[in-house]
Every structure is written in C-alpha cells, then in structure tokens.
Structure 1
Amino acid sequence: MLPRCLRRLSAPLRASYPGRPGHPARDTSALAQATAVLQGELEGIQAAGTWKSERIITSKQGPHISVEGSRGDILNFCANNYLGLSSHPAVIEAGVAALQQYGAGLSSVRFICGTQDLHKALEKKIAQFHEREDAILYASCFDANAGLFEVLLTPEDAVLSDELNHASIIDGIRLCKAQKYRYRHLDLDDLENKLKQAQSQRLRVIVTDGVFSMDGDVAPLRGLCDLAERYAALVFIDECHATGFLGERGRGTDELLGVMNRVHIINSTLGKALGGAAGGYTVGPKPLIDLLRQRSRPYLFSNTLPPPVVGCASKALDLLMASNQIAQSMAAKTKRFRSGMAQAGFTISGADHPICPVMLGDARLASQIAEDMLKRGIYVVGFSFPVVPRGKARIRVQISAAHSDDDIDRCVDAFRDVGRLHGVVP
C-alpha cells in the first residue's frame, strides 16, 4: 500500500487521467473519423486489385526457400539476391564473427559513440571497390538518397532528374531547395533542353538510376556524361540494381558503359547483391563525403549499421574483388530466361538485365498469376500502382547467379502453363 503522502499526491493524478472512474471518457470522435477515412482507403486498394500481401518465408533467403502455407521446395524468383550471397557460408561466418567480436550494435549514432574500426574499414573498401576517393555508410540507400541532395544543393543550384527515378531519389530531391527539372525517361534530347534552361544556376546535377528497378532498362550513361561535360554538370547515379554484377568486374553501370571516370557521385546498397542484409552508402569526392558527415540528417540522427551487417557486406566485397566469376555468370542465366519467355509469347521489359518484368497491364491479373505460380512452386510477386504506373502492372522476375539452368527452365514452363490458363499467351 502507498504511504499516505504518496496517496495524497496520486489522487489528483488518478482523477485527471482519461478513462479513470469519475472522469469523462476521452472524446474519440476524431479517431473514429480518421479510422473511417483510412478504412475507405484500404477498401479502395482492395477493390482496385492492388492490395499487396506479404508472404512469410520460413527459411534462409536463396534460390530455394520455404513459404508458409505452401508445401515443398519453392523456387524464389523475386529477390534482389543477385549473386546468391545472402546465405553464402563465408558471408554468414563473417557476420557471426563480427557479432561475437563487436556485439549486436552501437546503441547510438556515429558522431556520439558509434564508430568502430570495422565501419571505417568497410567505407575504405567500398571506396576502393568503386575507385572513388571516399565513402560514407547509411542504414539504407533510401537514407543515402534522402541525405545527399539537401546537403549538396541550395536554391542557387539545379537538379535534373529522370522521371522514372526511384522513389527514394524523388523524396531526397523534394527535401532540397534547388531548382528542379524532370526530364523524360532516358530522353537525352529533353535532358539537353533542361540543361540549357539551368545554365544560370551555380551547380547542375544530373540524377539517374543506373538501372531502373521496375523496368530493367539501363541509363544511357555515355550520352548523359557527354551532356554533363558540355553543360558543366555533375553526374549522380543510383546503383542499387547494378553494384556487384554489372560490368566486367561487377563494379556497376558505369563500368559496364565505360564511364567510371566520368560519373562523380554514386549511391548504392549493401542490401541486394552485397550480402542482402541492410545498409547503403555514398561514394564520391572526399570533400562531399566530409560534408555529408557534418550535415546529412539520416547519417547524424540514425544509429550506425550493426556489426554483423558490416561483417557480411565486407566479406561479400572480398569475394567480388577476389574473382569476377560470379558476376560474369549472370549474363548467360539472364539470356536463358528472357529467350525462353519470349518464345513462350510473353512481353519482357528491359534488356540484358536480371530484372525481367513480365508485362501484363492489369493489376488483378498480375496478382492472380503470381498466386497460381506459387501453387506450381514458383515464388514471384505482382507489381501494381503505386509501385508502377496504372495500367502497367507486371510480375518482376529476378534472376540470381545461384539459380541453375533447370531452375530457370522450370520457371519458364510454369509461366507458360499459367499464362495459357489466363489467356495471356497462346
């Protein structure tokens, strides 16, 4: 029982606390109104056929997985695990070793008490991998994109962005006060017109995905860099769907197209080909990286990456820098799938990239085909608005170096059967 003095103090608190006996219940009309609005939005999503369910995986990430509610071995064709390193034994071992040596996490942001030597070593390794001066780690590439443009650009500057750039780039650009220009997708003529309009600005930055994740198409970096040099602009590329497997050594789109020394800033991820856990980064000139450490809000106000994630990513980079064999294996596997699907009568967007969007148009159809594919042991997901434009729903198939030829052929055969069932292919 509380002492008498504490009982006297607690009595008025009890009387004033909402929902306590003797006090009117809290007015819930605002909450009820908000709930009705939200419920209406959810019902609209379901009616449009664009509801996005989350399947539950009960195994490691890999080409073969277990999915809750499905029997037997499931072939996974919807992961960003391009190089199959998410469950590579050496990558897992490195993560465990980092956990044992450095613990689960830093419990803080880096400028307070959150930098360890393995973080600095990974940043140095990333800069070396991309052949740039310096690198800075973030909790995700979304954070890297959110943290860059606000620091780099002022109202005196201009940013020129491809209209189909990733949502994180769009959000990052919204945060800055630069003059904003959006050019038509992959359209160098339109970009040049926008560059001419931006000549009075102090700095001009051309911003593009290296590979566009929903379409599998590659930015025309050679022409883009030509324009950048003609109109004194910087070039930024997001390489999340290129780092580790595009180019002769897997360095990315800039290596693939021979412009490594002409692209100035790169943002990319550790959460796809480079181990598949989490984390993102910016690489570029050292003065830019130094300034990001001083002013980039996602860096200054978010905990640093957990040591096990750093250990896994570091080992993934070691494997890539030791051999380009895994990266080079992607081309043949990608060609096998694309050729098989084209012969079956499907329309596949993009070209020569392991992102292989099966274009279907109708959101409900894409969802139904994905469900029927799972019944045949193939895990794929339908993409619809707002992830892609209305009327351009698709199933985005992603090829991994860990897929065998038999895996790919089985996927194509299942698509052919399901496509015929729905009248999509003859």
Structure 2
Amino acid sequence: MAFSFIEPALQQRQSEHLYRKLNTVQSKQSRYVYINGKQYLNFSSNDYLGLASDPEMIKAWQKGAELYGVGSGGSYLVTGYHQVHHDLTQQLKEWLGLTDLCFFSSGYSANQAMVSLLLNKHDLLIQDKLNHASLMEAGQHSTAKMSRFKHNDLNHLSHLLEKQSQIDNKLVITEGVFSMDGDNSPVTHINRLCKQHDAWLMVDDAHGIGVLGEQGKGSLNAQGMDNTDCEIYMGTFGKALGVGGAFVSGSPQLIDYITNFSKHYIYTTGLSPAMAYCIGEAAKMAQQQQWRRDHLMALIDQFKQLAGQFEIPLMPSNTPIQPVLIGNSETALNVAKCLKEKGIWVTAIRPPTVPENSARLRITLTVNHTKQDITYLAQQLQRAVNANSN
C-alpha cells in the first residue's frame, strides 16, 4: 500500500509520549489565553515585549491597511515591494546599525534560504549542536559537508575549523539566544575564531532582537559588538516585535546576490504592506520604550530567585526563555497537565525538538506578566514537579 508508513509512525509517536496536536487559542496573545473555553495564564508566548495585542499596534495595522492595503500583490521583484517596505528597511538599518537587508516570510524561510544559496558540495557548514531545526534541516539538505560543534564549545569549534582549513568557503552558524535552552552564544569569541580561519559567521538572533542590548539591538550589541561584525545577521519580527516575518542583513553585495539568486526570496509573495507598517511601529516601540525591557528583566530575576528557593530545576538562562529540565517526556507532559489544572499554560517540549532525555517545560516570560503571576507560577511549578518526581 502506498505511504503505509504514516499510520505506524503516528502510533509510535503516541507510544513514546511524543505525539503532537493543535490547541486552538480563542483570544488575543496576552497575559491570559482562552483555549477550549478555559482561561489560562500564558507562559508559552514568544511575545516577550507584550506588543502583539498592544492597542497602538492594532491601530498601526489598521492604518497600514488603509494606506497600503492588506496584500502585497506579488513577489518583491514583481509588484510586491511597496514604499512601506523601503521605509521599514531604512528604519531597521538605522535602529540596528545594519548596512543592508532583505525580507523573508519567516525566520525558517530565511535560514533555509541562506544555507541553500551560499553552499555547495565543495563547501563547509559548521553549526552549534543546538541550533534551531530550520538551520539543521537546511544543513542536512545541503550538498555541503556539515559538522556540528558541541554547544557553545569554542575549543571544539576551533578544532573543526583547523581540521578543515583547506576548504575555501566555510560558514559557521549559531543562534544569539538558543530557542529551547534560553542561553546566549559567546558570539564575540566565535566571531574571532571565524576571522582567524577565514570563515563567515551567521547569527540567528530571532530571540535576541528587542530584548537584549542597548535599545533592544540584540545579542551582538549586548556583547559589545556591532550587528555588522558578522557577515550574515538574521532576525525575526514574530517574537519580541509581536508581528511576523523576518530579515537577513549583510553587505550590499550579499543582499544583491540574494535578490538575484535566492529562490526562497525571488519566488515568494512579499510581506503584507499592512504588516510591514505594523512592524515599523513595533520596531519604534521596542527601540524607544526601555521600560518594557526593564520590567521584563525584573520578572526574569524574580523567577530565577524563586526557582532557586523552591529547588526548581531551571536551566542556565538570563533571557525570557526559562526552561525547566524534566528529562522524561511522559513526566514533562504530566507536569504540564498539573499546571493546566491550576490555570497555567506551559508547553512540554520533547524530542525530536530537544535531545533525548532532555524534555523540559519551556517557560517564557513577557511584559504582560505581573510579579504576582511569577509568584503563582513558581509555587504551582514546585508542587507539580514534586508531585511527579520519582
């Protein structure tokens, strides 16, 4: 029978407690979410700065639609590149200190595009072992040789670069903030190694922009670098900026090369003009409203302090991503279920998204939370973890 592998594959996922299904959210992204008619405190959102449902953002989307319409009408190289896209490009260049950039429909698409565009069978791709699935999949589909270095291990990266120094085109990719662990990449040192070995560095800063650095300029800025210090810098608009879409930045020559040769860029409909206008408003708010980052960092500090007091097994992170390491997938699901019974929505992250035996609760904090929310979360988390411990 054709495609007979589908049913047993799903059955195996269920038996291993790795089965996934959709949950329909019936409310705005905010402090609370309504799912299946029940209200939950939302601790699973990437809306770190609380912009997704901000009244000013809603007004911006409406104004963008009035000015430019809701659809771009085509790919960027046909009729899809509107004045608002040009204006947003200039705004992001000024805020983030970028030389040039282009837009993609998602961070996943942007990452896939860069690997497929730049590397062939004679080239080398080196990735942090815990890079996002979009980067790993791109590497697996590439004809280039791919090596992975141990997470944030500079010695291992140096060894791989030295071992394969004879290869001309070498691309090293790391995340600025790792999406499942919440920790930071030592980008300053990685950049130095790349320069020593004539390799390009790409930084996926999806979870750093808006949250880290001066005026929310991201992970590189937070470590004393410029966003132009790496050859390729990728950021998204769907996390801290609360909207959607992504960009890739680099030299004018690189962006020109993407425009002329990247199928992911050339053959896709441009971002909605209304969305682009809204992204511009979000970028302005993220840049200028420092109180959002201050409040967010205060909540992070509070949660980490309470987790220490309650002996909650947090992973090392100083970002809004605060993973609680459980290990066993079934146990992680049970802990998440206990929290849902107490009105807290937290997602259990399991393999293959994370390595085997490292299932965790991926808790994310946002500006919308209060100190009381954090206290309640820590209390219920302690009880749920203890109730499901062996």
- How far is 1:156 from its partner? 4.2
2: CA distance between counterparts of 1:248 and 1:63?
Answer: 26
The structural deviation recorded for 1:165 is 0.8
Q: Is the 8 A contact 1:248 1:328 kept in 2?
A: no
Counterpart of 1:318? 284
Residue 105 of structure 1: aligned partner: 71
2:7, 2:200 → 1: CA distance?
45
Which residue of structure 2 lines up, in the alignment, with residue 46 of structure 1?
14
The 3-state SS of whatever aligns with 1:249 is helix
Q: Which amino acid aligns with 2:246?
A: G
2:359 paired residue number: 393
**Correspondence for 2:318:** 352
What are the superposed Cα offsets for residues 247-300 of structure 1, whole Å, 9 maximum, x if unpaired?
A: 13211110111122532211111111112x320110111110111011111111
Which residue of the partner structure matches residue 23 of structure 1? none
1:14-46 Cα deviation digits (max 9, x unpaired): xxxxxxxxxxxxxxxx34xx3x43111111111
Q: Hey, what's the Cα distance between the residues in 2 that align with 1:209 and 1:362?
A: 26
Higher alpha-carbon deviation: 135-144 or 147-156: 147-156
Unaligned runs of 5+ residues in structure 1 are 1-29
Deviations 1:103-139 (A, max 9, x none): 2212421112211111121122222222111110000
Aligned residues with identical type, % of pairs: 27
TM-score (norm 1): 0.87
Match of 1:65, SS state, is: strand
**Corresponding residue of 1:59:** 27
Instruction: State yes or no: 1:205 paired with 2:171.
Output: yes
TM-score calculated relative to the size of structure 2? 0.95
Alpha-carbon RMSD: 1.6
Residues 182-224 of structure 1: per-residue CA shift (max 9 Å, x gap):
2111111111111112322223222101111111111111211
Q: Which residue number corresponds to residue 227 of structure 1?
A: 193
2:212 maps to 1:249: no
Q: One-letter code of the match for 2:230?
A: V
Partner Cα distance (2:368, 2:214) in 1: 18
Give CA-to-partner distance per residue, 1:342-401, whole Å, 9 cap, x none: 221211112211111111111111111112211111110101111111211111000112
Q: Select between 136-145 and 415-424 the one with higher mean Cα deviation.
A: 415-424
Which secondary structure state, in structure 2, belongs to the residue aligned with residue 44 of structure 1? Answer: helix
Alignment of 1:346-425 (within 5 A): 346-423=312-389
- Does 1:68 pair with 2:36? yes
Query: Deviation per CA, 1:79-99, whole angstroms, max 9, x where unpaired?
Result: 101000000111111111111
8 A contact 1:130–1:283 mirrored in 2 = no
Do the aligned residues in 2 keep the contact of 1:63 with 1:76 (CA within 8 Å)? yes
Match runs of 1:109-258 below 5 Å? 109-258=75-224
Query: Number of aligned pairs?
Result: 389
Question: Is this contact kept in 1: 2:215–2:288, CA < 8 A?
Answer: no
Is this contact kept in 2: 1:124–1:135, CA < 8 A? Answer: no
